[in-house]
Amino acid sequence: MMVNPVPDLIRGDLRHHESMSLHCSWRTGGAARAYFIPADLNDLSLYLKQLETSESRLWLGLGSNLLVRDGGFNGHVLALFNALNRFEIDADRVYVEAGVACAKVARRATQAGLVGAEFLAGIPGAMGGALAMNAGAFGGETWDLVAELIVLDPAGEMHRLSQSEVQRSYRHVMLPKGYGIVGAELQLTVGDVAEAQQRIKTLLAQRAATQPTQTANAGSVFKNPPEDHAARLIEACDLKGHRIGGASVSSKHANFIINDNQATAADIEALILFVQQTVTAQQGIDLEPEVRIVGERAP
């Protein structure tokens, strides 16, 4: 059990039984037992120091790439979006905290005359999640930019890890159990502002034209297999538009599942499984989910 926070020490917003449908881009999911919005990084560290190390934690940014089951999350959600929001530029280095939106990093870095982060404009999440899964878009990957990672361990102590100390691969980053990402130092390059801003505009236009950006979704559902694309495989199985309950495979991009009719988390999870099984049966390829699924199923 959590040790009760001391009111005059904890400065953030602690809520109980908070519906995660309010905080996930799929707009569905059960309640979190505890939901904490820290006042800043020190406040988050203090909160973690008052938890038993066995307590479950869910590090949350913008809630994209995440499905919380209908039975909710029996633990502590650490809500970082706009809470850990420091963004500082020193020459060609950028310090960014985990709660800053990826698109904001792309925009502000470009305004400062730095290039290399433009692809982040196409990632609909916060930097903590992008760093945790090595998110990518339009040929760029988050860890191509990382010089140093800042994390908190389960006891709330801060550590700095160089890029060489962190194992990562396509859409995967290996951290010690219970560690959470709170920020990073990015290495960018001085470049042409006008050219970089045009690249962002082009990427955003391409995203709007090819992805269901106006619907409740969690981004790409499956990782691309080597030398192939999940969307191509799903479309080859004639699954565009396939529906389970209130969830359907997007007719605009087959690697997106949308909540277009009050879907439950169970509807979405069932559709993920159905797509996997169908692609395996028809194409002989096992699709691996990119989205994270947490929590308990509804009784």
Q: What strands, in cross-sheet order, belong to the sheet with 216-217?
A: 216-217, 257-259, 247-249, 243-244
CA 211 – CA 129 distance, rounded (Å): 20
For residue 54, count other CB atoms closer than 10 A to its CB: 9
Looking at 11, 27, 171, 232, which residue is catalytic? 171
pTM for the full predicted model: 0.93
Active-site residue flag, 290: yes
- pLDDT by 10s per residue, the chain, length 299: 344 555 558 899 999 999 999 999 999 999 999 999 999 999 999 999 999 988 999 999 999 999 999 999 999 999 999 999 999 999 999 999 999 999 999 999 999 999 999 999 999 999 999 999 999 888 899 999 999 999 999 999 999 999 999 998 888 899 988 899 999 999 999 999 999 999 999 999 999 999 999 999 999 999 999 999 999 999 999 999 999 999 999 999 999 999 999 999 999 999 999 999 999 999 999 999 999 999 999 98
Looking at 21, 25, 220, 250, which residue is catalytic? 220
Give the model's pLDDT for residue 139: 86
Looking at 118, 185, 269, 290, which residue is catalytic? 290
DSSP secondary structure string, the chain?
A: -PPPPPTTT--SEEEEEEEGGGTSTT----EEEEEEE-SSHHHHHHHHHTS-TTS-EEEESS-TTEEE-TT-EEEEEEE-TTTS--EEEETTEEEEETTSBHHHHHHHHHHTTEES-GGGGG--SBHHHHHHHT-EETTEEGGGSEEEEEEE-TTS-EEEEEGGGSEEETTEEE--TT-EEEEEEEE-EE--HHHHHHHHHHHHHHHHHHS-TTSEE-S--BPPPTTS-HHHHHHHTT-TT-EETTEEE-SS-TT-EEE-S---HHHHHHHHHHHHHHHHHHHS--PPB-SEEES----
Show the domains of the chain with their CATH numbers. Answer: 13-79 (3.30.43.10), 87-210 (3.30.465.10), 216-290 (3.90.78.10)
Active-site residue flag, 220: yes
